[in-house]
Structure 1
Amino acid sequence: MNDIAKVIEKIEPLNSDAMREAQARQNVLTKPTGSLGFLEELSIRVAGIKGEAVPPPFNNKVVITMAGDHGVTEDGVSAYPKDVTPQMIYNFIAGGAGINVLARHVGARVVIVDMGVAAEFEPNPALVVKKIGFGTKNMAKEPAMTIDEAIKSIKAGIEVFESEYAKGVDIVALGDMGIGNTTPSSAITAVITGRPPEEVTGRGTGVDDEGLLNKIRLIKQAISLNNPDPSDPIDVLSKVGGFEIGGIAGAMLAAASHRVPIVVDGFISGTGALIAAELAPQSRDYMIAGHSSVEKGHRAIIEHLNLRPVLDLDLRLGEGTGAALSMGIVEAACKILCEMATFEEAGVSNREE
């Protein structure tokens, strides 16, 4: 736990001077003040994160996709078998998944991490192995993991980011893979936001009406049985969470400690953001909501974290896909701030006062 605390201690407030200077520059660019709306807000936020009024270019865009399996799948919470998790890992490695396509589109590298997939993989340089266990326990019958495992998952996420940061990271997106992972995500969201499970539980991979009712019942059962403490995010993670969710939270904490913008993907990534923000409230300022997922629990997370999504495209794939797409928008916002001419530079008359 000391290692996590040391990372949290390094998370500083956004640089207010850089944000004021960025706002002042936005006000004299060759456009009506405020005419680029949320793009202007994004660029000013990134200036505060980076501590530079004119942020440097995003030469190293990275998507980290954390994977893990979930014991609760044995109770039929997903329309897909858990065998799909390792199968998709191979698809990621081969470059054939949605995240691979969209990451290539925005010029980002993809890092695939085995946080707790219920399968063994042959060593592969394209796969980072931080396996905490072969999937979590069934949270509807017992705690999903031990406190020690929860702490290990967060530390593993920190280690993954630190390793990538050594190679160069200017902006990071966090994604996920794991059949059944919307179930623990709904449980965590219900506990931390205080909303009833019915309000934060969706169909995930597409369960029918009966499957949705079963999913809600199991989430209620897990919360009642394990009694997670809403004020203790590690307790919540251990009792109703997932290894990949802990990894996502750890990577977010590490990114914030290095003043790197964090693009949050969908529901599972958002759940990791909830854990990170509970552990270190200041980390929220480093988060950018990439999109608003169809999963209603994700919308509850966005409201709880007081974030504004960049995109709203009815996405629910996960993997980091929405975050990868919005990463390009964040980059465009910063290019406007950095590359657009001022009225004085362009010889264009400014508005009359």
Structure 2
Amino acid sequence: MSQEEELRELIKQIKPAGREAMERAKERWRTVAKPLHSLGKLEDAVIKIAGMRGSAEFSLEKKGLVIMCADNGVVAEGVTQTGQEVTAIVTENFTRRETSACLMAERAGVDLFPVDIGVARDVPGVTVPEYKVAYGTENMKNGPAMTREQAARAVLTGICIVRKLAAEGYGILATGEMGIGNTTTSSAAASVLLDRDPAEVTGRGAGLDSEGLARKISVIREAIGKNGPAREDVVDVLSKVGGLDIAGLTGVFLGGALCRIPVVIDGFISSVAALCAVRMAPDTLDYILPSHRSKEPAGEMVLKELGLSPYIDCGMNLGEGTGAVAVMPLLEMGLSVYQNMSTFEEISVEQYEELK
């Protein structure tokens, strides 16, 4: 069986979230001794997670952040401020707890899982042969970034990692990435999937000046024109103008749906992977939670396409999973009220009613 055939078989197993569990969670919220719907999106998140888990009682105690790390051949076109070597340096720093995501995750009680899915060199403490699909992608300006089999294998790798973590008891996963040049690949994929001109969806990434931005847009436009990715074929889009990190994260979102656990979008790059997953298997959307509104131009566009509204807006565009990690304490706060607050009956107060 080919990688693509295996992927198609797994996608067939994805089912919608449990509506009965969601109704039970809604009923529990109605009995909690506070004004109805007063925690807004946090109440909605608890209800949605109940549907994912198929139970109105669940825990978010064991939390993980999966960081897909990969290099992109398009960096050769001068679309970034820093060189490709930075990908490996930061990937190794994840093991030393020397990145922004590490420090934020430690505060939020989130375990880190950096994955070398396509870094240009092996990374001590991170590289695992069965997870590494390639030593970076090809330059998409000159031809496809990778083969279809590589793209499918990267998606399967993401699914495999989620299955492993779910078996270890993780109840919620955040998504992150590290890869110099990946705002270029994600902008290219977003341009195709949203049917938007590259200029509409492409930002400055990690600090490009106006000349650099213009060059980045031009490279994306050329890559799409040369490779002709088919919008309705996600594997084709990923292989022609995507990145191994995006493909791996696509698998993480699909894996969440397969294992019935929530997966939290980080920023723009992560949201493009979520969109890829939903286009491949629409029911995957039931298992995806947003986090923040990215400063990248297409960040909000992709969330709107998915019908998701962010929980926070801090003007962040760092990546690594920082936005997804930042929202974890909020989700736990909402769950704490849901699980532990007294009911109207317990405090002998008349229950609020839904008023039209």
TM range (shorter): over 0.9
Matches within 5 A, 1:252-263: 252-263=253-264
Residue in 2 that maps onto 1:293: 294
Residue in 1 that maps onto 2:110: 108
Q: Distance in 2 between matches of 1:239 and 1:92?
A: 29
- Alpha-carbon deviations, 1:274-319, whole Å to 9, x = none? 1111110110111111111000111111011111111111111111
**SS of match in other structure, 2:117:** strand
Q: Tell me, yes or no, if the aligned pair for 1:290 and 1:326 is still in contact at 8 Å.
A: yes
Gaps of 5+ in 1: none
Q: Distance in 1 between matches of 2:123 and 2:264?
A: 28
How far is the alpha carbon of 1:143 from its aligned partner?
Answer: 0.5
> Given the two structures, how large is their TM-score scaled by the length of structure 1?
0.96
Q: Do residues 18 (structure 1) and 18 (structure 2) align?
A: no
Which of structure 1's runs of 4+ aligned residues deviate more than 4 A? 126-129
Task: Count how many residue pairs are aligned between Structure 1 and Structure 2.
Answer: 350
Residue in 2 that maps onto 1:28: 31
Matches within 5 A, 1:144-223: 144-223=145-224
**SS of match in other structure, 2:143:** coil
How far is the alpha carbon of 1:203 from its aligned partner?
Answer: 0.4
- Alpha-carbon deviations, 1:24-49, whole Å to 9, x = none? 11112111111111111111111111
Q: Do residues 77 (structure 1) and 73 (structure 2) align?
A: no
Q: Tell me, yes or no, if the aligned pair for 1:7 and 1:254 is still in contact at 8 Å.
A: no
Q: 2:53 aligns with which of 50, 54, 67?
A: 50
What's the RMSD between the two structures over aligned residues? 1.4
AA aligned opposite 2:339: C
Residue in 2 that maps onto 1:61: 63
**SS of match in other structure, 2:112:** strand
AA aligned opposite 1:62: G
- Alpha-carbon deviations, 1:170-195, whole Å to 9, x = none? 00011000001000100100100111
Q: Tell me, yes or no, if the aligned pair for 1:11 and 1:257 is still in contact at 8 Å.
A: yes
Q: Tell me, yes or no, if the aligned pair for 1:65 and 1:112 is still in contact at 8 Å.
A: yes
Q: 1:348 to 1:127 in 2, by over 3 A?
A: farther
- Alpha-carbon deviations, 1:228-283, whole Å to 9, x = none? 00000000000000011111011111111111011010111111111111110110
> Given the two structures, how large is their TM-score scaled by the length of structure 2?
0.95
Q: 2:100 aligns with which of 98, 101, 104?
A: 98
- Alpha-carbon deviations, 1:138-192, whole Å to 9, x = none? 1111110011111111111112222222222100011000001000100100100
**SS of match in other structure, 1:344:** coil
Q: Distance in 2 between matches of 1:346 and 1:5?
A: 52
Q: Distance in 2 between matches of 1:169 and 1:247?
A: 18
Q: Tell me, yes or no, if the aligned pair for 2:267 and 2:319 is still in contact at 8 Å.
A: yes
AA aligned opposite 2:242: G
Q: Distance in 2 between matches of 1:351 and 1:273?
A: 37
Q: Tell me, yes or no, if the aligned pair for 1:112 and 1:127 is still in contact at 8 Å.
A: no
Q: Distance in 2 between matches of 1:144 and 1:156?
A: 18
AA aligned opposite 2:154: S
AA aligned opposite 1:24: E
Q: Distance in 2 between matches of 1:182 and 1:128?
A: 25
**Aligned residues with identical type, % of pairs:** 39
Q: Tell me, yes or no, if the aligned pair for 1:67 and 1:113 is still in contact at 8 Å.
A: yes
Q: Distance in 2 between matches of 1:255 and 1:143?
A: 28
Gaps of 5+ in 2: none
How far is the alpha carbon of 1:127 from its aligned partner?
Answer: 5.1
Q: Distance in 1 between matches of 2:170 and 2:6?
A: 21
Q: Distance in 1 between matches of 2:329 and 2:250?
A: 23
Matches within 5 A, 1:340-351: 340-351=341-352
Q: Tell me, yes or no, if the aligned pair for 1:111 and 1:128 is still in contact at 8 Å.
A: no
How far is the alpha carbon of 1:121 from its aligned partner?
Answer: 2.5
